């Protein structure tokens, strides 16, 4: 097993989050050597290849055209966008989308989230620059999702739900 630092991982994986939105074909799920479908969990853990990696090997890494296509469809595909660092507001959106009512404040505030200490403040500037370059399409995807989140939140606020 290789050990990569965070910059090397970002450079190897690229815009990994964007690639989760790209279409997988049935061949991406098949065992590479035999072309026979073997259920994912039954494959050898040490040898199985993630379908995203298979798709990337077949079609190449996600690109700007893929990003544009995904951004154009976000609102159509997702009734609600949640933003981790804006958890309570996200819960309000989810609650309203699912029930037509706001989740009580005490409920949204009582859910504990795990802080994975993802601060970038300890990273050297050159390392951070490498990471940002490697995941630039993911950063653009995040900005588009955040913009949609803000529009959805504004729409909810316009319903005179002043608690949000």
The angle at the Cα of 91, spanning 119 to 120, to the nearest 5 degrees, equals: 5
Higher pLDDT, 47 or 149: 149
Long-range contacts of 77-80, Cβ-Cβ distance < 8 Å, separation of 24 or more: 78/148, 80/152
pLDDT for 8 beyond 90? yes
Question: What span, in angstroms and rounded, lies between the C-alpha atoms of 104 and 102?
Answer: 6
Question: What does the block give as tokens for 137?
Answer: 């399409």
Cα angle 65, 153, 71 (rounded to 5 degrees) comes to 5
Dihedral sign computed on CA atoms, order 142, 147, 151, 154: positive
pLDDT score, position 154 = 92
Q: Give the predicted TM-score (pTM) of the model.
A: 0.80
| Residue 149 or residue 105, greater confidence | 149
Q: What average pLDDT does range 106-120 have in this prediction?
A: 62
Identify the residue with better confidence: 160 or 50.
50
Q: Is the pLDDT of residue 116 over 50?
A: yes
User: Who wins on pLDDT, 107 or 10?
Assistant: 10
- Residue 94 tokens, joined: 């989810």
Average pLDDT of every residue of the chain? 85
């Amino acid at each position: 097993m290789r050990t990569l630092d965070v910059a090397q991982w970002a450079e190897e994986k690229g815009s990994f989050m964007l690639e989760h939105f790209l279409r997988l074909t049935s061949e991406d799920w098949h065992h590479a050597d035999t072309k026979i479908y073997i259920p994912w969990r039954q494959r050898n853990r040490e040898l199985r290849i993630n379908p995203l990696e298979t798709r990337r090997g077949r079609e190449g890494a996600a690109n700007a055209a893929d990003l544009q296509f995904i951004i154009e469809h976000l609102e159509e595909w997702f009734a609600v966008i949640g933003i981790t660092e804006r958890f309570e507001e996200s819960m309000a959106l989810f609650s309203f989308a699912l029930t037509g009512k706001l989740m009580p404040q005490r409920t949204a505030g009582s859910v504990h989230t795990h802080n994975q200490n993802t601060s970038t403040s300890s990273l050297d500037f050159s390392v951070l620059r490498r990471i940002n370059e490697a995941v630039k399409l993911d950063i653009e995807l995040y900005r588009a999702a955040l913009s949609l989140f803000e529009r959805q939140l504004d729409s909810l606020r316009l319903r005179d739900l002043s608690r949000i």
